[in-house]
Every structure is written in structure tokens, then in C-alpha cells.
Amino acid sequence: MLRLVGIASPEKRVHDYPFQMSGGMRQRVMVAMALSCQPKLLIADEPTTALDVTIQAQILRLILETREKVGSAIMLITHDLGVVAEVCERVVVMYSGKVLEVAYVNDLFNHPAHPYTQGLLQAIPRLDDTRDRLSIIPGSIPNPANLPEGCRFHPRCQYAEERCQTEQPPLVSPKPSQWVSCWRVVGEKGVDSDVIAATAVKAPLNV
Ligand code: SF4
């Protein structure tokens, strides 16, 4: 497995202590350990956090290559949208423990439907950006011990209306393969209450 993840001289390195390896090598060893049982599903929680961009790219490439070799599915948990764009096929956007949007990666980046997803994407700096200041999402995430009623994003949402403060929006599908939890989307698409109930029951990952 050490050879598979690109560790040079694995016969010698297998006897090394962690402090004798670089950060990138330790991450590779961690990936090798995780894949050694050939899991059907690998859950990688922030696998590239605290790595410099060069090592980060190596680890991501390694995970993708190993996925092909071992045949595992990968659930990647990250706050880095650049990593999401590079690696993921399907994306679940979560906020304070709630699923806000589910979409294929191209749909999510090209047509984000939830105000939180839109805010995250607008906050990314771009080379062709002509703005003087980057966009931000005002406010901060709520205290988990004191979550807001209704839509958990409503204290920070520029589109919040009255029922957002009291009723939690269901996860509905405004178009095939995209799921959104937002009253505004429900209103725009004119989804009636029967359709909401039906789609909310069938919705994937409706936690
Ligand atoms: S449900 Fe309301 S508060 Fe929540 S994201 Fe949609 S518009 Fe904003």
C-alpha cells in the first residue's frame, strides 16, 4: 500500500516513526491505511487541511488515482470549494447540520440555487474580478445549542421573509438532479404544497 500511494523505498519507510516523515508523506500513509482494507466507501474529512497547495494537489491526485485502482467511493468533507470543483461529482451543501442544496458539481457552480451556496461562490476571489472588495456573507454561524427557528440560515439571508423565521423549508427539486431547501426557490418555481410533501419524502439526504 505504501508503494501504491507513492512512498519511495517503502520497505525501509515502513519502519519509520511519524516524526521522520514530512507532512505530505504522513498524509500519504494515512490514505494508505484508510485504503488497506479496500473499503467500498472512504470518508475523507478535510484530508488536505494544513497542507501547502503543492502537497494538497498531490494528495488529491493520489486519492483519485487510488479510487480508480481500489474501486472505492469517496465521501469528501471539506470547506474548500476549489477542492470540491476539482475532485467531486456530486455535492451536498450543509449549514448548521442541515442539507441546503444537493447538485452535480457543474450545476452547483454554474447555477447555484440556494442563497447560502450563492454567497459562498460570490466570496471566491477571481483573477478577472473587477470588484474593489470581495463579497461576504454577513453575520456568523449560529450557536449549535441555540439554533434559529425556521430556516437556520435566515438571520444571515438577504432574502429572508416572514415564514423563513418560523417554518423550516423542505428539500424540494426545482429541476432534475438538484435539490434545494429554501422558501424562495419554492415560491419562484410555484411548487404547491402537495408536490412539496411528495418530493420532501423522496429527497436524498434529507436530515
Ligand atoms: S428559506 Fe428564506 S431565509 Fe432560508 S435561504 Fe431561503 S430565502 Fe433565505
Other beta carbons within 10 Å of 139: 10
Return d(Cα 104, Cα 157) in angstroms, integer: 24
Contact 170, 203 (CB under 8 A): yes
Pocket test residue of 101, 161, 162, 168 for ligand 1, highest count of atoms within 8 A of CB: 161
Answer for the pair 39, 9: CB distance below 8 angstroms, yes or no: no
Task: Write down the domain spans for the chain.
Answer: 1-88, 89-207
Three cell numbers written together for 53: 497547495
Radius of gyration of the chain (CA): 21
Residue 33 phi/psi, 5° resolution? -60, -45
Cα 175 to ligand 1 centre (Å): 18
> What one-letter code names the amino acid at 36?
S
**Beta pairing, strands 73-77 & 41-45:** parallel
100 lines ligand 1 (CB under 6 A): no
pLDDT at 206: 43
Number of CB atoms found within 10 A of residue 174's CB: 17
C-alpha angle with apex 122: 162 to 84, nearest 5 degrees? 110
Predicted pLDDT at 30: 86
Tens-place pLDDT, residues 77-119: 999 998 999 889 999 999 999 999 999 999 999 999 999 999 9
pLDDT digits (tens, 9 = 90+) for 169-201: 999 988 888 999 999 988 765 554 444 444 544
What is the CATH class of 1-88?
A: alpha beta
Give residue-wise pLDDT tens across range 111-144.
999 999 999 999 988 888 888 888 999 999 999 9
Q: Which atom of ligand 1 is nearest to the CA of 114?
A: 5
* Cα(162) to centroid(ligand 1), Å: 10
Mean pLDDT of the 39-48 span: 87
Whole-number Å distance, alpha carbon 114 to ligand 1 midpoint, is: 8
Q: What is the pLDDT of residue 190?
A: 53
Architecture of the structural domain at 89-207:
3-Layer(aba) Sandwich (3.40)
**What is the number of other CB atoms lying within 10 angstroms of the CB of residue 64?**
13
How do the residues of the chain divide into helix, strand and coil, expressed in percent and rounded to 5? 40, 15, 45
Q: How far apart are CA 30 and CA 166, in angstroms?
A: 44
Q: Which of 182, 186, 188, 189 is the best mutation target for the ligand 1 pocket, counting ligand atoms within 8 Å of the beta carbon and taking the most?
A: 182
Å from CA of 81 to ligand 1 middle: 21
Domains 1-88 and 89-207 share a fold: yes
Distances (CA, A) of 12 to 77, 123, 187: 32, 46, 63
- pLDDT at residue number 39: 85
**Comparing 51-60, 131-140, 155-164, which segment has the lowest mean pLDDT?**
51-60
Q: What are the φ/ψ torsions at residue 198 (nearest 5 degrees)?
A: -65, -45
